[in-house]
Amino acid sequence: MTKHAVFRQTYGPWALVTGGSAGIGASFAWILAERGLNLVLVARNRERLEQKAAEIQTQHPTIQIITHALDLSLPDSITTLIHATTELEIGLVIANAAVETNGAFLRNTFDDEQRLIALNITAPAHLAHHYGQSMRDRRQGGILFVASIAAYGPLPYLANYAASKAYLLSLGEALHYEFKPYSVDVLVLSPGLTDTDMAGQSEINWSQLYAPYMDADTTALAGIRALGKKSSVIPGTTNFLVAFVRKYLLTRSLNIILFGHLLRRAIMPNRL
């Protein structure tokens, strides 16, 4: 049996990818299609989502693709998605959809901060809780949370975003242990700066931090390759070293002071 066939048998027949129309989520969708999994792709922008699905379908005509244009930060959106997938055997959930708020916490509206909490924290937890139950019962499946190296310590001017990713890192590593007896794999992927729309639209001048961009395909592939082998993975040597220093070499207070200074220098003045 080929590696792709084993992967399909372990995590198929259906994979659900949130934020599947662009960036890392779209890269996940392509990789999973190449491995023969049917796809449920979820994103807010219907036109962009359907275009991405059509592109993938053209290259992989034997798989099935279902799209759901949903804003997962809205109340009852996850319930809507659950009802829409009742008849499907979801063997892999990739919780990738996220939003970033940056700048001084008090500069942002609380509606924006609350939307971040709903999308970055509540939605992934709800997905894992619901689909994890059927995976546990089947003794098979996988859940992949997309966090960030921002999860490895408090970040002034990215305060709520970093906190949301720290939640995912903690949740995912704990669920990796809890779900293991049921042969359900849980992984947390913690990318650094990645060439996506979110990074491109950020009001942070990342060049001030000398942070190297990784491409979305390489980032997503690192997650797929680590699934079933680790509880968490950080793609890229530089990203790994940054997380290692933050976790093991710097005190918590030094983390805050150092990265607060760096981000204050890089953030747009109107966001301070």
Specify the DSSP element, H or E, that contains 226: helix 216-226
Adjacent-strand bridge partners of 141:
184
Cα dihedral across residues 27, 222, 250, 151: positive or negative = positive
Q: Do 231 and 171 form a contact (C-beta atoms < 8 A)? A: no
10: left (phi over 0), alpha (psi -120 to 50) or beta: alpha
Q: Do 250 and 258 form a contact (C-beta atoms < 8 A)? A: yes
Sequence-distant (≥ 6) Cβ neighbours of residue 230 within 8 angstroms: 187
Catalytic residues: 161, 165
Cis peptide upstream of residue 13 (ω within 30 degrees of 0):
yes
